[in-house]
Amino acid sequence: MSYTITRFLLLMMACATLAACAVNPVTGKNELSLISPEQEVAIGRQNYEPSQQAQGGAYYLDKRLQSYVAGVGQKLAAVSDRPGLPYEFVVLNNPVPNAWALPGGKIAINSGLLAHLEDEAQLAAVLGHEIVHAAARHGASQMSKGMLLNVGTQIAGVASQQAGYGSLGGVAAQLGSAAWMARYGRDDELESDAYGVLYMKRAGYDLQAAVELQETFVKLSGNRQSGFVDGLFASHPPSQTRVNRNRERVAELGTGGVRNREAYQKHIAQIKKDQPAYEAQQKAIKALNEKKPSEAMGYLDQAIRVQPNDGYSWELRGHAWEMSNETAKAQQAFTTAIGKNPNYFSHYLARGVLLYKEGKKTAARPDLQRSYELLPTNAASYYLGEMAYSAGDTKKALGYYQQVAQMDNAMGRDARQKMVRMELPQAPHKYIPSQTYIGKDGYLRVVIQNQAGVEVAGVRIELAQASGGSKVLQGPSRLAAGQRWEVNTKIGPFSDAAEAGRYRVRVVAASVP
């Protein structure tokens, strides 16, 4: 039996068994998917805003650009094979060249990629490609394979675990889609190229732009240009095969159509003008990570002279002042950043953390809360958890700490310890698992292990028979983190090891000394 027939039969069996077959709206082929179209749209809607926040937030320095790019995107979406999706298009304030699509038609393109394009037709080539990813349910396919689950949680974690300055804002963190989005397979990329070109044709654009774009990307990937490697190339790897396929597709569909270079260049003029500011920001971040605040301040002065309304330059300035122990000036810089861009999580987080460390917790709370609402990072979660813990609000503190506890750093360790202190008295079995077994001498034994991460004391264990009746065993007075302890109950002897199953064991008391 051939591979193709075998694969077809397996797919049909899966569809019949799981009712999980979906028709690819672009190709018309049956494909295995555990995500319904309704779920797909809901997931995209839920994760679109946090995805934007984690990668710099919406570009706001020239709001006309958002309308222009959205107009090009909607023109292509209207002639796609899935025009009914609730398509949205956003330009992100991020210098890393990248573009991505979430399930359900939620699409983003970075300002850094727009700066590398020549005209509207090349923009259409990028957006058309991303529209196909959404229309053909490539993201839903990735989720069905377990490759794109919990996007919001992942990006919040990534945004707050990046080391060094530049991490809070996401702009200089250069997350790119590779950090948390789907990495599309070769077939998905070729399919998006082929149908993206078709959508360009339907919308009246010159298809040669798609060929030029792929040719440029192949050259840049060969030169290992870092911005593209960090962003677009990681999730959309270019290849000569893609160039050749685009040429064949253009030859098939024919050339001709609009380029709209003048209109495009007019709309990205502000981005081009601000390039020196972005370059200065990158140098400032490098200086901050090298603990050179004065040098960073010099670069930030340059950036602000070029573009005084970019909040991220002011936030970085605040970090430089903070490193220089000028906390009042740091707070003022963070406040200026918020004034420049009041819809970005990082500026609030920076000021909130500063105020918290200064002991001004009442003033810090609204900043941390606003930051958390925009993007629930681990950093904001930790400090909000700290305030709830100090106030004795155990339920709220646990909710915040549960997110932070996944981190392998000082915050994560502290959150885990405080969770243990709060939960251990009520649910000791959660942190100290136990089991029974029959020893070589035939007697029933109980073994426990401390998985709380801290030393515990006063352990008591309840041993119950399945048929009824129980007794409490006194455990160790102290049990170190990770330590095992076992006791011979003197119940037995038994000739069958399965007899241990007649008994249930559970740690019912323990405390943190």
Per-residue pLDDT tens digits for 134-184: 887 655 545 444 444 344 444 444 444 444 565 433 333 333 333 334 455
At residue 143, the 3 state secondary structure works out as helix
Per-residue pLDDT tens digits for 40-70: 888 889 889 988 998 899 999 998 999 999 9
CATH number of 428-511: 2.60.40
Q: Identify the bridge partners of residue 438 per DSSP, sorted by sequence position.
A: 444
CA dihedral 172, 178, 184, 190 (to 10 degrees): 40
Give Dmax over CA atoms of the chain in angstroms: 91
The CATH 1.25.40.10 domain(s) of the chain lie at 273-421
* pLDDT recorded at residue 16: 39
Of residues 160 and 258, more confidently modeled: 258
* pLDDT recorded at residue 299: 98
* pLDDT recorded at residue 3: 34
pLDDT band at 36 (very low <50, low <70, confident <90, very high): confident
Per-residue pLDDT tens digits for 213-249: 888 888 877 776 667 766 676 667 778 888 898 899 8
* pLDDT recorded at residue 454: 87
Tokens at 94, concatenated: 């991020």
pLDDT band at 39 (very low <50, low <70, confident <90, very high): confident
Question: Distance from CA of residue 231 to its chain's centroid?
Answer: 14
**Cα separation of the two ends of the chain:** 66
Query: In whole angstroms, how far apart are CA 123 and each of 27, 117, 204?
Result: 24, 7, 13
Closest of 358, 298, 296 to residue 328, by C-alpha: 358
Q: Give the chain's count of helices (H) and strands (E).
A: 24, 12
Extended beta strands in 17-84, E state: 21-23, 30-32
* pLDDT recorded at residue 466: 85
Contact assessment for residue 454 and residue 512, using Cβ atoms and an 8 Å cutoff: yes
pLDDT band at 185 (very low <50, low <70, confident <90, very high): low
Count Cβ neighbours within 10 Å for each residue of 177-193 and write b for 16 or more, e otherwise.
Answer: bbbbbbebeeebbbbbb
Of residues 322 and 190, more confidently modeled: 322
d(CA 333, CA 358): 16
- 66-75, 138-147, 310-319, 352-361: which range is least confident on average? 138-147
Query: In whole angstroms, how far apart are CA 95 and each of 119, 150, 193, 272, 457?
Result: 18, 26, 24, 11, 54
CATH class of the domain comprising 273-421: mainly alpha
The answer on pLDDT for 28 being more than 70 is: no
Average pLDDT for 475-489: 94
pLDDT band at 98 (very low <50, low <70, confident <90, very high): confident
For the chain, what percent of residues have pLDDT higher than 70? 81
The CATH 2.60.40 domain(s) of the chain lie at 428-511
* pLDDT recorded at residue 336: 98
d(CA 350, CA 334): 7
